[in-house]
Amino acid sequence: MDVAADAAESFAASCAPAISPDETVYSWCARFNRLNDVTNVQATSHLLFGHRTAGLRNDFPFHLAYFHTITRGALGTLSDLLMRRTLYGFRAPFLPSHARDDIRRYLLYGGPSGELRCALGLSRAGLVLANRLKLCADCVREQRSQHGFAWWMASHQPPSTFSCRIHHQWLRFCAESRPPSSINMYWLPEVFDSVSVANGLQERLARCSQLSNLDRWGSYVSQQQNLQLAGEMLRQTYRLQTKARKWVSGDGHVRLELLRDAFLSYYGDVLRLFPDKLLEDLAGVNGGFLATLLTKNSPRHHPMKHLLLLSFLFETPDDFFSVHTKVTAVHADGGDTAVRALLRSNAVI
């Protein structure tokens, strides 16, 4: 991608910080902005991305090809930027190939306003989960003590992550008085202007094994660059595993009430950490998002819905792929009819 000569010259004359371990694109830009004492943050975004707001998104900054060129690859390859330093890696495994290609193209080169949200199928609840910047208080203190500054860590940002793997404490959100989703400011971590993600949860972090499992699943899917979970085989894998748990009737239908009751019992108070709109009235007569995941093959399901169900149904990713491989093989041999017959059969999975 061609970069205007004046922009390249302006960047070359600026102070560009070195990328820090596990740092997001947004965080590096925020530090660049502060280091160069720029008061007009949209000017910083325009310099780095060729667009006045593309670099002000903490979740999905776009025009990354321009950014990669002007920074001369200082933050890694384009694949590194997408998969490790934005939330694209968190969402990509659950997107069909055409949507994944469209979103990747948008993040690299931009597009019409609203195209990204439409392609991702982001609801208001989904936007809230994606836009919340999170920090670990001890990480911030250590970074400032050792380096003189702090940064946003990519491993803290996925919606499935609620605690720091290093310090084993609750993460913290930016306080409401400094909205992290605003496209009018660059924020950097501030311990004293943040609130705990625990949100009144009575259980101590050490007892929240459900959240630890969610984090492990979120980390796993984000690190698998070629992982593709979207499609009918994922839905049928869920259904086959519910059969193993004896939540499928003899005619192959999921006993939704049994499944939902077990799900609510497993997560308990932890579910208060998620927006009601994401859970879709889980306790209601229609079964909330559990029913939609088990009955509809849609690319618009938020990844957190999948992760909540995956973490509940399967002990480990290996357990999941064992069932997923079986479903895929049965489908390859006999199509949808063979998969439905497997759900109705008395065979042990």
Q: 230-254 pLDDT, tens per residue?
A: 888 999 999 999 999 999 887 778 8
Residue 180 has pLDDT above 90, yes or no: no
d(Cα 166, Cα 153) in Å, to the nearest integer?
A: 12
Lowest mean pLDDT, pick from 14-23, 43-52, 65-74, 219-228: 219-228
| pLDDT tens digits, 21-57 | 999 999 999 999 999 999 999 999 999 999 999 999 9
Residue 321 has pLDDT above 80, yes or no: yes
Residues 225-232, mean pLDDT to the nearest whole number = 84
Q: In this predicted structure, what is the pLDDT of residue 124?
A: 52
Closest CA to 290 of 219, 239, 215: 239
The structural domains of the chain, with segments of one domain joined by +, span: 5-179+186-196, 232-296+314-344
Q: What is this structure's pTM?
A: 0.90
Q: In this predicted structure, what is the pLDDT of residue 177?
A: 47
Distances (CA, A) of 72 to 11, 25, 56, 94, 212: 10, 14, 20, 31, 37
Mean pLDDT of the chain: 87
